């Protein structure tokens, strides 16, 4: 059966939504791959300046709070004006922040360059990309979101290794310069292909009318942010995502220094972080497809069970192979956790204010993430071990499982 656009003409052979997905894949690869190299730079910065781990971790937490809060703003803007200009601005700020990091000498510069400027540049990296994909796809929305997030996983696989090689071959300042240039050029270039929704190309969303007769999947159908916040599923998602990011930021920032503390070489420790990113690609594709089939709630339950198992294993992981096994199991859950929320928000609340609703939930998540990383650093500074911090992550994941069980579809009444 042929497919037609809104004017009745036959569609191009390549649906433009796939171009949107490819552009989102590339931007996610660069932004999140580079952002998650912070743990690789952790020890060089500690050695250079003698800061505490809590002090250094706070920079990552500040960045998380900044990109989380501004995720609400860019989500609202994306609902109105579309993603291209937003992502150009984010790309400029993101690259600039890393270029400035090459000149850092004091704590206030660390917090300004990384916490504020990089944080601002990162703000569109999830909310804008995934909200845009949700508008282009009704059918296969979970899978397409997963493919975009595979870019994040590939970035997490590649960028820590690249950063580690640049640091060992040159030094951390040169590494930041090279990374900053790559980030600025690539994100701004890929952003030129982004369009807000299919109507801008005279098209309709992929699968429109095939999977859901409700108006939630129309471009302007669904809940406003004001309506959504009065519903329990919204409140549950905020709490759930906060706990997910609490654990995720703790692991991503501290797993490399934890491995080095166990006597593992820095290059091998960086490969543990890269393994999480590499395996997360499978988690993103598989769990995105699972969410299309069984719904986001059940997919979230599966991810939480896998995460609990991996974090329990981490409590006794003292050798390199044990940490690699942790990275494989946790990486799968990690990928699913960061793929499911956007299609789940569309499933529960529709598309008219998807960017604002998803951005608000994302901000709630970053509050949890902002607590996790410096808390883990403080625990290490006091106890000399990450054991308690990782145990708290186990508890957080158990609560995520319980919250996912409590998640139910939004009722017909909006208030």
In the predicted structure, residue 55 carries a pLDDT above the cut 60: yes
Candidates 374, 328, 364, 317; CA nearest to 115 is 374
- Mean pLDDT on 390-413: 86
Residues present in the chain in total = 415
pLDDT for the residue numbered 415 = 40
pTM of the predicted model as reported, rounded to 2 decimal places: 0.75
Q: What tens digit of pLDDT does each residue of 293-346 get?
A: 888 889 999 999 999 999 999 999 889 999 999 999 999 999 888 888 888 888
- Each domain of the chain, given as residue ranges in start order, spans 16-406
The position carrying tokens 């609400």 is 72
Ranges 108-117, 137-146, 206-215, 393-402: which has the least confidence: 206-215
In the predicted structure, residue 198 carries a pLDDT above the cut 90: no
16-406 carries CATH number 1.20.1250.20: yes
Q: What tens digit of pLDDT does each residue of 12-49 get?
A: 578 888 899 999 999 999 999 999 888 788 888 888 88
Do 13 and 7 meet the contact criterion of CB atoms below 8 Å apart?
no
Classify the C-alpha dihedral 98-99-100-104 as positive or negative. Answer: positive
In the predicted structure, residue 390 carries a pLDDT above the cut 80: yes
- Mean pLDDT on 221-247: 86
Q: What tens digit of pLDDT does each residue of 249-259 get?
A: 899 888 988 99
Q: Residue 243 is encoded by which pair of tokens? A: 């706990």
Do 53 and 177 meet the contact criterion of CB atoms below 8 Å apart?
no
How far is 58 from 43, CA to CA, in rounded Å? 15
Q: Where residue 221 falls among pLDDT bands split at 50, 70, 90?
A: low
296 CB-near residues (< 8 Å, 6+ apart): 142, 340, 341, 343, 344, 347, 348
Q: Where residue 266 falls among pLDDT bands split at 50, 70, 90?
A: confident
Residue 381 CB-half CA count within 13 A: 15
Q: What percent of the chain has pLDDT over 90?
A: 37
């Amino acid at each position: 059966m042929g497919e037609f656009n809104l004017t009745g003409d036959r569609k191009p052979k390549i649906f433009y939504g796939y171009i949107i997905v490819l552009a989102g894949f590339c931007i996610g690869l660069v932004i999140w791959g580079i952002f998650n190299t912070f743990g690789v730079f952790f020890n060089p910065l500690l050695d250079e300046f003698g800061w505490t781990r809590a002090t250094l971790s706070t920079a990552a937490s500040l960045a998380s709070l900044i990109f989380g809060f501004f995720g609400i703003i860019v989500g609202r803007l994306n609902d109105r004006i579309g993603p291209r200009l937003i992502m150009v601005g984010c790309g400029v700020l993101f690259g600039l922040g890393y270029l400035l990091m090459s000149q850092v000498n004091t704590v206030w510069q660390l917090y300004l360059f990384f916490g504020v400027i990089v944080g601002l540049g990162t703000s569109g990296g999830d909310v804008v990309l995934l909200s845009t994909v949700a508008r282009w796809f009704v059918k296969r929305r979970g899978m397409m979101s997963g493919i975009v997030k595979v870019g994040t996983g590939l970035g997490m696989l590649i960028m820590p290794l690249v950063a580690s090689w640049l640091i060992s071959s040159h030094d951390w300042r040169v590494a930041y310069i090279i990374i900053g240039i790559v980030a600025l050029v690539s994100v701004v270039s890929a952003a030129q292909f982004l369009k807000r929704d299919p109507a801008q190309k005279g098209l309709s969303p992929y699968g429109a009318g095939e999977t859901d007769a409700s108006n939630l999947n129309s471009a302007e159908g669904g809940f406003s942010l004001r309506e959504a916040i009065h519903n329990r599923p919204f409140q549950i998602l905020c709490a759930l995502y906060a706990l997910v990011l609490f654990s995720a930021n703790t692991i991503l920032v501290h797993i490399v220094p934890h491995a080095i503390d166990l006597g593992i070489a820095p290059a091998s420790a960086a490969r543990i972080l890269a393994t999480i990113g590499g395996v997360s690609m499978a988690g993103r594709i598989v769990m995105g497809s699972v969410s299309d089939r069984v719904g986001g709630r059940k997919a979230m339950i599966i991810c939480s069970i896998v995460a609990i198992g991996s974090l329990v294993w981490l409590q006794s992981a003292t050798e390199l192979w044990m940490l690699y096994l942790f990275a494989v199991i946790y990486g799968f859950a990690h990928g699913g956790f960061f793929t499911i929320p956007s299609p789940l928000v569309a499933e529960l609340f529709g598309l008219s204010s998807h960017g604002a609703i998803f951005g608000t939930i994302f901000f709630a998540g970053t509050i949890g993430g902002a607590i996790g990383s410096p808390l883990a650093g403080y625990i290490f500074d006091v106890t000399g071990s990450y054991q308690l911090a990782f145990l708290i992550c186990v508890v957080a994941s158990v609560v995520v499982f319980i919250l996912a069980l409590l998640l139910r579809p939004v009722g017909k009444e909006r208030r």
